Structure 1
Amino acid sequence: MLAGAVRGPPDRADGGRKAAAGGCDRPRLSSPLAGYPRAQSLPHPDGLRLRPRGAGTAAAAGRLRGPGARQAAGMAGENGGGGSAMRPLTAPNGEAGDDLGTMVEAEAGNWRQAAELGDWQRVVEILAGLPAIEFDRVRAEAAKLLKCRTTTLTEEVEKARISGEGGTEGGGAAGRPLVFEEPEPWPAPVDPGALLEELVAAVRQHVLLPGEAALAVGLWAVMTHLVDRIEIAPRLLIKSPQPRCGKTTLLDLLACLVARPVPANNVTPAVVFRLIDRHRPTLLIDEADTFLRENEELRGAVNSGHRRSLAWVLRNVEVGGDWEPRQFSTWCAMAIAGIGRQHATIEDRSVVIELQRRLAGERIERLDDKARDRLRELRRKIARLVRDFGPIITSTRPREPEGLHDRAADNWRPLLAIAELAGEAWAGRAREAAKTLSGGDDAETPGAMLLADIHEIFHARKNPPELSSSVICDELAKREDRPWPEISRGKPVTGQKLAAMLRPFGVRAVHRRTGYVYRRSDLEAVWKRYLPDTGGNEPSHRHDPNGAADSDESQTVTDGARCDGSLSGANPTAPRVCDGVTVHDPGADWERETDGTDQEHETEVI
């Protein structure tokens, strides 16, 4: 059958050839493709001859489809298949010979040829077996040949990888299916306080952590078993300033405690939402600093899964030959480990655990197989606790500690509810842990940090009615503990950059003869919203040291001017501008570096 499909010249149909040296017959190749015309060989510096990849007999075998192609590949494997795409071809008599197995194997991965034939299923199958870096290099070219969008091709490849259908025949690139071990609940009732004690001790046994951080980790591990019953799923963000601080060990430990763990060192957006939608796992993401910080699409999927009611992404899916928008869930628990800071939007949705490298005298136990078995026993106890007390935990409205902003309070609410089940002593410890780990961290977001620093600059200069943009930039550039000295592509903050950073807050520069200035009255309304501890205009003095009142310009906010020009004493903090201020952290929007080419100035000219 196969010999009929591929015909060589009549004089070579039997596969016989005369050797160039000695005039002896070459041994016949046990393949029906042996008579196909040979490609031109290439000279080799060692006197051998090389055959180009994809040429001659290999090209013929690569173009075959169906069982015949597999038969040819199998026959080729019996004749020395394997090796690289280009290697010396030698016969027993020293001449260049046919290594058909190598050629067929190389051509089997030739996605370009499949694309030229319009066989997109085969292209997806081959690309799914490529390493991630190689696929990233060729996906644009592949999409162009298939006349489709790059994102569409990527999604199809990811689906093939997840389903285990990707990869080349006979290779190991198809991956392995996900297997979830559901823990058998502990046979006896579990005391909540005793379980928390065991969890804290187990965490501190293998990772160098203070007590409040270990308690947060233990509470979060219990929370993962309740993820189908709660409304907020805080991320557990594990970070350190340098490698070798215990991040991976902590993730390894969590894999023995949490519900349906899936460790992942590198994930794509398509994998994340399809994996979550199908399996609802607990994602344990390591090395996040290498791929998550700059990946906006993946970051969006991570952020969307924080609140149950909004944990959805939309994708076009082919249904019955037509494309329809479909929802995919992103709702699950996630632990994310990496070096340094993550994007502000991720940190804002996380309970942050900061690790430090241990000293020579500080001892922890190695996390070996015996330790993992003990941790899995704790997971069985967690499963029993959730089975017995799950409805009570999810219906509890815990007392929240003072000093947490709204998002931090949301993050800690499910953890505090678990702690309250264990009694007031544990609930008190959990509230203290919340204040220690998350209290007052609003000022660490980029936007709040900028507003706080500008507030200090005004206060240090005795709160003048206005300050020039250049003065503010000069003072910010002196703060070596902040990003301002190198925020503009390694250079200090400029007036243009400052305007871009303040614009989301509704604060705009005003043009004077000497340049642009920022009025304190415009900033006070924003300070009150984002820096409530400062009181907005506190410690702002409404009179200068000589007792003279500030100008009318600086009284705009306290005068309570409305958008229609009327005055209202009932709302003295109302901003003068009509566009208002949205209560979120606009500073997160400019954390991504700009290219410095935006020349737009949204300023108010007087």
Structure 2
Amino acid sequence: MSKYNQIFDPKPADELSADSIKKPNILPDVQPLETTTDDIDEPSSVILPQQDLKVSLDLAQATIDRLATLSELEYELERTEAAKSLNNMSVRALDKLVKKAKSKIKSENSDNLIVDIEPHVEPVEDIALIVSLIYQILEDHIACTHAVKVATTLWILMTWFIPASHIAPIAWINAPEKRCGKSTLLTLMSRMSKRSLSTSNITGSALFRSIEQYKPTLFIDEIDTFINDNESIRGVLNAGHSRDNPYIIRCVGDDNEPVPFNVFGAKAISGIGRIPDTLIDRSISLTLRRKMRDETKKRVRDLPVDVTNKIQSQLARWSDDNMLAVKEADPVLPISINDRAQDNWQILFKIAMLLGDEWLEKAHRSCMDISGSDSDEPSSNEQLLSDIRTVFSLTQTNRLLSRDLLTELRRDPEMSWSTYNEGKTITLRQIAKKLSAFRISSKDLRAFDINGHEVRGKGYDINDFQDAFSRYLS
């Protein structure tokens, strides 16, 4: 026997020890209890559901809500097992749901920008008295025409009837110069309108998110400082005018998923000068004027909050009680204003019908004073078209070289083209771009120049304008 066999040859084991290894002690049988009870009546939302059970929607939502309250580290430690427990949901899907739940919690915990006014306890018996008070407050603080005060009063009431309105006309507060009370009027309107949200500047994304989240009456001051160069904001304001197409779509989230945002609602804007034509078309113009030196107006800060809060409370109750009546009202609108202007004024006329014949007559006169004279005000493209027709007539020719057309447009002091570009003349490229909207373009032709010589060059033929003249200037 080798030495290796001697070293590793095991010795005989003790019989008792061997038996104990082969036959381990067996515990006595334990009799199961006849019934088992659980002192927890309902499953706790903090306990993850069993993997072999189908999770109910309520329990799944409770689990997601709990996960949304965890710290980043705590969530990372639980997310994989939590996803498995939720019917083997993918971790990616769980991350999205938890992120959404976190956003909801953050929104609920943040300071709310909107204040909801409780409706007046008693029904409003004399709404005419409240409306007269609103008109008087405007009279005490703002220098403007009677028509503007009437339109503003009705617009304030309109903010309480947005659910009954198909069109939400923009209140465009404007003035030729500063210190005419634009910000003052904006503040007054916000203190008597429903769910007011005021700002002096806003980005496009903040605009549509605020409208979607808060459903406010939005008041934007000094819009002239940023609106003309911001297509995003113009697009949101334009879309929010009608229920026909109230959605804009933006890509959001890590995956850039397209999400619709409803931007319909009441909006008031103020600024100096002209705003884009598309906004003017969707607005009721509230033009202010600077007060006279001997004219006295009160300060808004001296207007008691209790007064405007009571007005809001009474309007909240009156609108609740008369929402259906306003929605079903069918007023006769002035036929002398264009279709878009009729759309803008319709909700104001509906409200005026409920206020009585006196206010219906006021609404009609206000409408004609504000929109009757300028409802067909041409856009800059239409104005150019009209002025070109005038140039053809004055030069008594059917063909004009482009350079000669430009000379004639800037020659006439009644036309604005010599100062079109911030004091500089309009360019040939800009003329061509504007005319392209009417499918009119320059071409090679022979024409007489301003010195009476027949020359060849780029120019315009009057025959190419006839269709546009008939459609837009007749």
TM-score (norm 1): 0.56
Segments of structure 2 that go 5 or more residues without pairing to the other structure are 1-71, 73-99, 447-454
Counterpart of 1:311 in structure 2 is: 246
Counterpart of 2:442 in structure 1 is: 509
The alpha-carbon distance between structure 1 residues 528 and 489, as it changes in their structure 2 partners (threshold 3 A), is: same
Alignment of 1:494-533 (within 5 A): 494-513=427-446, 514=455, 515-531=457-473
1:291-342 Cα distance to aligned partner (Å, 9 max, x none): 2221111211111111123111212233xx7542211111111110112111
Which is further off, 444-453 or 295-304?
444-453
The alpha-carbon distance between structure 1 residues 427 and 287, as it changes in their structure 2 partners (threshold 3 A), is: same
Counterpart of 1:325 in structure 2 is: 258
Cα distance in 1 for partners of 2:444, 2:255 equals 56
Alignment of 1:443-454 (within 5 A): 443-454=377-388
Cα distance in 1 for partners of 2:175, 2:119 equals 35
Counterpart of 1:87 in structure 2 is: none
Cα distance in 1 for partners of 2:115, 2:271 equals 25
| 1:242 and 2:242 correspond | no
| SS of 2:244 mapped into structure 1 | helix
Whether contact under 8 Å (1:466, 1:520) holds in the other structure is yes
Counterpart of 2:193 in structure 1 is: 258
The alpha-carbon distance between structure 1 residues 444 and 378, as it changes in their structure 2 partners (threshold 3 A), is: farther
Post-superposition shift, 1:188? 3.8
Counterpart of 1:442 in structure 2 is: 376
Counterpart of 1:214 in structure 2 is: 149
Cα distance in 2 for partners of 1:432, 1:526 equals 33
Cα distance in 1 for partners of 2:121, 2:148 equals 26
| Higher normalized contact order (CA 8 Å, seq sep 6+, divided by chain length) | 2
1:87-107 Cα distance to aligned partner (Å, 9 max, x none): xxxxxxxxxxxxxxxxxxxxx
| SS of 2:296 mapped into structure 1 | coil
Q: Could you say which structure has the higher helix fraction? A: 2
1:276-302 Cα distance to aligned partner (Å, 9 max, x none): 111100111112122222111121111
Amino acid at match of 2:392: F
Post-superposition shift, 1:178? 1.9
Counterpart of 2:391 in structure 1 is: 457
| SS of 1:403 mapped into structure 2 | coil
| SS of 2:163 mapped into structure 1 | coil
The alpha-carbon distance between structure 1 residues 481 and 268, as it changes in their structure 2 partners (threshold 3 A), is: farther
Cα distance in 1 for partners of 2:126, 2:472 equals 42
% identical aligned pairs: 31
Whether contact under 8 Å (1:200, 1:211) holds in the other structure is no
Q: Alignment partner for residue 281 of structure 1, among 212, 216, 219?
A: 216
Alignment of 1:557-576 (within 5 A): none
Cα distance in 2 for partners of 1:223, 1:406 equals 20
Alignment of 1:109-128 (within 5 A): none
Post-superposition shift, 1:482? 4.7
The alpha-carbon distance between structure 1 residues 345 and 184, as it changes in their structure 2 partners (threshold 3 A), is: same
Whether contact under 8 Å (1:215, 1:430) holds in the other structure is yes
| 1:373 and 2:306 correspond | yes
Cα distance in 1 for partners of 2:112, 2:354 equals 37
Cα distance in 2 for partners of 1:451, 1:397 equals 38
Post-superposition shift, 1:453? 2.0
| 1:491 and 2:424 correspond | yes
Q: Alignment partner for residue 272 of structure 1, among 185, 188, 207?
A: 207
Whether contact under 8 Å (2:440, 2:464) holds in the other structure is yes
Alignment of 1:343-362 (within 5 A): 343-362=276-295
| 1:299 and 2:216 correspond | no
Whether contact under 8 Å (2:117, 2:316) holds in the other structure is no
| SS of 1:310 mapped into structure 2 | coil
Whether contact under 8 Å (2:117, 2:313) holds in the other structure is no
Amino acid at match of 1:520: I
Cα distance in 2 for partners of 1:391, 1:274 equals 29
The alpha-carbon distance between structure 1 residues 294 and 483, as it changes in their structure 2 partners (threshold 3 A), is: farther
Whether contact under 8 Å (1:190, 1:381) holds in the other structure is no
Whether contact under 8 Å (2:114, 2:214) holds in the other structure is no
Segments of structure 1 that go 5 or more residues without pairing to the other structure are 1-120, 122-155, 166-174, 536-606
Post-superposition shift, 1:216? 0.7
Which is further off, 176-185 or 236-245?
176-185
| SS of 1:180 mapped into structure 2 | coil
Cα distance in 2 for partners of 1:356, 1:330 equals 31
Amino acid at match of 2:150: L
Amino acid at match of 2:380: P
Cα distance in 1 for partners of 2:199, 2:413 equals 36
Cα distance in 1 for partners of 2:239, 2:153 equals 24
| SS of 1:518 mapped into structure 2 | strand
Counterpart of 2:332 in structure 1 is: 399
| SS of 2:268 mapped into structure 1 | strand
1:204-223 Cα distance to aligned partner (Å, 9 max, x none): 11111111001111111111
Alignment of 1:461-480 (within 5 A): 461=395, 464-480=397-413
Whether contact under 8 Å (2:200, 2:220) holds in the other structure is yes
The alpha-carbon distance between structure 1 residues 244 and 491, as it changes in their structure 2 partners (threshold 3 A), is: closer
The alpha-carbon distance between structure 1 residues 266 and 494, as it changes in their structure 2 partners (threshold 3 A), is: closer
Cα distance in 1 for partners of 2:278, 2:323 equals 30
The alpha-carbon distance between structure 1 residues 392 and 529, as it changes in their structure 2 partners (threshold 3 A), is: farther
Cα distance in 1 for partners of 2:294, 2:171 equals 28
Post-superposition shift, 1:467? 3.6
Amino acid at match of 2:382: A
Cα distance in 2 for partners of 1:217, 1:466 equals 49
Cα distance in 2 for partners of 1:186, 1:475 equals 68
Counterpart of 2:77 in structure 1 is: none
The alpha-carbon distance between structure 1 residues 502 and 359, as it changes in their structure 2 partners (threshold 3 A), is: same
Counterpart of 1:21 in structure 2 is: none
The alpha-carbon distance between structure 1 residues 370 and 176, as it changes in their structure 2 partners (threshold 3 A), is: same
Cα distance in 2 for partners of 1:379, 1:186 equals 12
Cα RMSD (Å): 2.7
Amino acid at match of 1:263: S
Amino acid at match of 1:316: C
Cα distance in 1 for partners of 2:384, 2:304 equals 46
1:415-457 Cα distance to aligned partner (Å, 9 max, x none): 1111122233322321221222123343242122222222333
Whether contact under 8 Å (1:221, 1:254) holds in the other structure is yes
Cα distance in 2 for partners of 1:293, 1:407 equals 22
Post-superposition shift, 1:369? 4.7
Cα distance in 2 for partners of 1:249, 1:459 equals 47
Cα distance in 1 for partners of 2:277, 2:301 equals 35
Which is further off, 287-296 or 513-522?
513-522
Post-superposition shift, 1:495? 2.9
The alpha-carbon distance between structure 1 residues 405 and 472, as it changes in their structure 2 partners (threshold 3 A), is: farther
Of structures 1 and 2, the larger Rg is shown by 2
Alignment of 1:77-88 (within 5 A): none
Cα distance in 1 for partners of 2:280, 2:310 equals 31
Cα distance in 2 for partners of 1:233, 1:403 equals 21
Cα distance in 2 for partners of 1:505, 1:193 equals 49
The alpha-carbon distance between structure 1 residues 304 and 256, as it changes in their structure 2 partners (threshold 3 A), is: same
Amino acid at match of 1:522: D
Counterpart of 2:316 in structure 1 is: 383
Amino acid at match of 1:518: Y
Counterpart of 1:340 in structure 2 is: 273
The alpha-carbon distance between structure 1 residues 192 and 401, as it changes in their structure 2 partners (threshold 3 A), is: farther
